[in-house]
Chains A and B, each alone.
Chain A
Amino acid sequence: MADAPPDFTPVTLITGFLGSGKTTLLQRLLLDPALSDTAVLINEFGEIGLDHHLLERIDEAMVMLQSGCVCCTIRGELSTAIKDLHSRRERGLLPPFRRLVVESTGLADPFPILSTVRSDPVLRHHFCLGNVITTVDAVNGARQLDAQPESIKQVAVADRLVLTKTDLATPEATDRLTQRLRHINPGAPLWCGAEDDLDAAALLSADDDGVERWQPADRHGHTPDGHHRHADDIRTLALNFDEPIDWTRFGIWLTMLLHRHGDALLRVKGILNVADTATPVAVHGVQHLVHPPRHLGAWPDGDRRSRLVFVARGLDPAMIERSFRAFSGVPHTSSK
């Protein structure tokens, strides 16, 4: 007997700028038998449903979103489309898919798609956020990062980065782009779409243990004081501190910060040593959206310090740090 669908069906978002290879990636992933129980929603941008014709295997579980960009005009349609899939699955009209993949348009800001899954009063009881997979074109990626703010956001929110068209780019250009992606998003594993045998299941698997990769700043080439400046005004702040943190004060501070600067705060990720709590707590935020904090079973290594990484655009990392310490009562002496 087939397994029942999970209580919360993970929704994986495949995003990436125009022409960065989202559909090619999706096409490859769907050939993997491990993804046979995956429903797919693609977005048709413009009048020609090119994406649709390129996808070979979508089965009847595909719903075409007809009115353009996912983020700004059809967020309601996205919600309706997912609810329709859920309803048809429950009624036995669709195979019991265990995972949903949404491919956004290249112009889409990924955040409203994520917030639709998290905030819709029906969806949030049946679906959860899976990975955000962002494709980056090795040939044009650097230029897109320069010119298109959406592409920076797409990289910043990624849980997995897939570098495409590396066979068409020089190794030097690929290296430079890789460095830049690492600055914008220090924690997401980087996959090479052209060379690797893509392990579809691993690419889509839940990112339960991803926090460790976001730790110590020096591992990601940050300056010793934990601040790093990027040419595109993306700046990273990595904080390590010894004192157990007061969860309530931290919550007050972070909600206030996200309320005022959520658009500029592309990513917050970390593990915290919370006062009166034996095991570490993982926090993960994307702009205004904060995932429910998770208890980790144990510390990932011998280091019991809290570690927080902020990726922000146009905000002064030194001021974020000062504010954090003033609000939470963590003294400056405890860092590094």
Chain B
Amino acid sequence: MCALCGVLGGPEHWTDAVARPGVFTLNTDAAARRRERMNRVAAANRVLSHYRMNLADWQGSAFVLSTATGKTEIVDNLAHLWMAAERLLGRSCDPLDEELIALMERELG
């Protein structure tokens, strides 16, 4: 998690938009929010597994990102996820990487 965001309260990320008129969000109530966090963890892990990394929900308030060797980092939202993943991994996580796309396509069948 970005230290400054942790202190100051980071800007609302678009995937975490607060429910308000006109704004689309899945975070409408506590149960839905929890369900969405679980969905998010599962969807992220579908990608992260290709880097041998794992994301887990942490008390409904943050996520814990871990590598296969046990390196761990707490992340606040999806914007921070990829920064942290690259830091732990020591290389970039590129959704346009052909190898990654091919792996994801194979999963889809």
The chain A residues found within 8 Å of chain B, CB to CB, are 118-119, 121, 124, 246-249, 251-253, 255-257, 259-261, 274, 277, 281-282, 290-295, 315-316, 319-320, 322-323, 325-327, 329, 331
B22 to chain A, nearest CB (A): 5
Residues of chain B contacted by A322 (CB below 8 angstroms): 101, 105
Pull 21 A–B residue pairs with CB atoms less than 8 Å apart, ordered by A. Answer: A124-B12, A246-B43, A249-B43, A251-B78, A252-B40, A255-B15, A255-B79, A256-B82, A256-B93, A260-B92, A260-B94, A261-B94, A261-B96, A292-B12, A292-B24, A294-B23, A295-B24, A315-B96, A319-B98, A326-B101, A329-B108
Residues of chain A contacted by B47 (CB below 8 angstroms): 252, 256, 327
B64 at the interface (CB under 8 A from A): no
Residues of chain B contacted by A255 (CB below 8 angstroms): 13, 15, 78-79, 81-82
How extensive is the interface on chain B, given as a class?
A: 35 or more
Residues of chain A contacted by B17 (CB below 8 angstroms): 292-293
Residues of chain B contacted by A257 (CB below 8 angstroms): 95-96
B8 at the interface (CB under 8 A from A): yes
Residues of chain A contacted by B44 (CB below 8 angstroms): 252
A52 to chain B, nearest CB (A): 32
Q: Which residue of B lies closest to A289 (CB)?
A: B14
Of A248, A259, A326, the residue contacting B83 (CB under 8 A) is A259
Residues of chain B contacted by A253 (CB below 8 angstroms): 95
| Cα–Cα distance between A261 and B101 once the two chains are bound (Å) | 16
Q: Which residue of B lies closest to A332 (CB)?
A: B105
| Cα–Cα distance between A281 and B17 once the two chains are bound (Å) | 13
B21 to chain A, nearest CB (A): 9
The chain B residues found within 8 Å of chain A, CB to CB, are 8-9, 11-15, 17, 22-26, 36, 39-40, 43-44, 46-47, 78-79, 81-83, 92-96, 98, 101, 104-105, 108
Residues of chain B contacted by A256 (CB below 8 angstroms): 47, 82, 93, 95
| Cα–Cα distance between A3 and B36 once the two chains are bound (Å) | 40
CB pair A248–B39 under 8 Å, yes or no, is yes
CB pair A293–B14 under 8 Å, yes or no, is yes
| Cα–Cα distance between A240 and B13 once the two chains are bound (Å) | 26
CB pair A248–B101 under 8 Å, yes or no, is no
B78 to chain A, nearest CB (A): 4
Of listed B8, B9, B25, residue having the most chain A CB within 10 A: B25
| Cα–Cα distance between A293 and B17 once the two chains are bound (Å) | 8
New A-B pairs, 11, CB < 8 Å, besides A248-B40, A292-B23? A247-B26, A251-B40, A252-B43, A255-B78, A257-B95, A260-B96, A292-B12, A293-B23, A319-B96, A322-B105, A327-B104
10 closest A-B pairs by beta carbon, nearest first, are A326-B104, A259-B82, A293-B24, A290-B14, A251-B15, A255-B78, A292-B17, A281-B24, A248-B39, A256-B95
Q: Which residue of A lies closest to B103 (CB)?
A: A326
| Cα–Cα distance between A260 and B15 once the two chains are bound (Å) | 17
CB pair B108–A119 under 8 Å, yes or no, is no
Residues of chain B contacted by A291 (CB below 8 angstroms): 14
CB pair A260–B82 under 8 Å, yes or no, is yes
| Cα–Cα distance between A108 and B46 once the two chains are bound (Å) | 39
Q: Which residue of B lies closest to A331 (CB)?
A: B108
Residues of chain A contacted by B24 (CB below 8 angstroms): 274, 277, 281-282, 292-295
CB pair A118–B43 under 8 Å, yes or no, is no
